[in-house]
Amino acid sequence: MKKTSIKDIAKLSGVSIATVSRVINNNGRFSEETRKKILDVIEETGYQMNFSAKSLRMNKSFSVGILVPDISNYFFSDVVQKIEEELFELGYSTIICNTGRNIEKETAYLNMLRSKLVDGIIVISGVDEFVFHYDDIPYICIDREPLKKEKTIFISSNHYQGAFEATESLINNGCKHPAILMYDRQSSSAKERFKGYKDALKKNNISYNESSHLLLSGLEENFTENLQAFLERTDQVDSFFAVNDTLAMKLFSSLKELGEKIPEDFKIIGFDDSPLAHYSSPTLSSVKQNTDKIAQLTVKNLIDFISSGKIINYQTILVPVELVVRNSSLNN
């Protein structure tokens, strides 16, 4: 059985296609009588508009694409989920694209999205600088500084502020030598956090020294050995600002392996305020990103962009973060 189309509705209602269309979209004029009749028939038949036809006709797909490095990461899944919710309310569906930080997959996705006539694209984070090839499709960057910052909208947490406050909080709790633990790869957010960390040191008259302050690492197996070597090389270290909660937890388990106690021997602050932070022992101090705000701003700006056809005002929006202090960075 074929699906009912607008033509069927017209026939069943005894009116023309045009009238049905007008009623459905509530534009043009029509009598209350015909409106009722048509709506009845629609109800009855379970008619649903064909999006492909509508898209083709209107050159608009009512869907937006989201490029995200890794949906199983807490911060990403959290923002994506919230964005998706807001967009759904507005009648948009969301095509989520996991790029796995792979530049080719990113490009392939971008092409597919364009091909599908998505009305807009949201790009979340990623390692490399982002070159957007198409100038005919609205997009917004979250957490990843675009190349032509002055020609786009860029929304991000204030990573600098978060790192600064975290570091200073360690210092205020008596730490003399806070180290920073971060990944090898350099996202724009990581850079900001690094800057915030260093500036906090500087403000408190602690001179930064790469070999004794910076521990680069991934989640590799031999992390504990790296950590041990680092601690031996620079035995004044008394605390860590970890660039995210996962790294902080890695630190937890490795330090414990080495027989160290948290927070007695080492104080630690993480970033993201993921569920990990609530359940670890000790509970983990962490910088909380305001994903609600980020999602809301993103959707609003994108939709404005889409419907006006141009960016109202190019801008960089920095969303404040909040340091949540728990046991891992407290005295006693």
Contact residues: its own copies, CB under 8 A: 1, 3, 48-53, 55-56, 61, 63, 70-72, 74, 77-78, 80-81, 84-85, 88, 93-98, 100, 105, 108-109, 111-117, 136, 246, 249-250, 252-253, 256, 275-276, 278-281, 283
Q: For its own copies, give the closer residue by CB, 103 or 202.
A: 103
Residue where the block lists tokens 């796995």: 100
Q: Cβ–Cβ contacts within 10 Å for residue 232, how many?
A: 8
Report how far residue 246's alpha carbon sits from residue 218's, in angstroms, rounded to the nearest whole number. 10
Q: For its own copies, give the closer residue by CB, 44 or 172.
A: 44
Site for DNA in 32-51 (CB under 7 A): 33-34, 49-50
| Cβ within 8 Å of residue 229, ≥6 positions away | none
Minimum separation from the CB atom of position 297 to DNA (A): 29
Among 36, 40, 44, 54, binds DNA (CB under 7 A): 54
- Pairing outcome for strands 63-68 and 315-319: unpaired
SS3 labels along 1-31:
CCCCCHHHHHHHHCCCHHHHHHHHHCCCCCC
Contact flag: residue 95 with DNA (CB under 7 A): no
Contact flag: residue 111 with DNA (CB under 7 A): no
φ and ψ at 4, to 5 degrees?
Answer: -70, 135
Which one of 53-61, 93-101, 148-156, 223-231 is the stretch in contact with DNA (CB under 7 A)?
53-61
| Cβ within 8 Å of residue 294, ≥6 positions away | 79, 82, 142, 155, 156, 157, 319
Task: Select from DNA, its own copies, none the partner in contact with residue 24, using the beta carbon and a kind-dependent cut-off of 5 to 8 Å.
Answer: DNA
CA proximity to 138, closest of 318, 313, 260, 307: 307
Contact flag: residue 107 with DNA (CB under 7 A): no
Q: List residues near DNA by CB under 7 A.
A: 2-3, 5-7, 14-19, 21-22, 24-25, 27-31, 33-34, 49-50, 53-54, 56-59
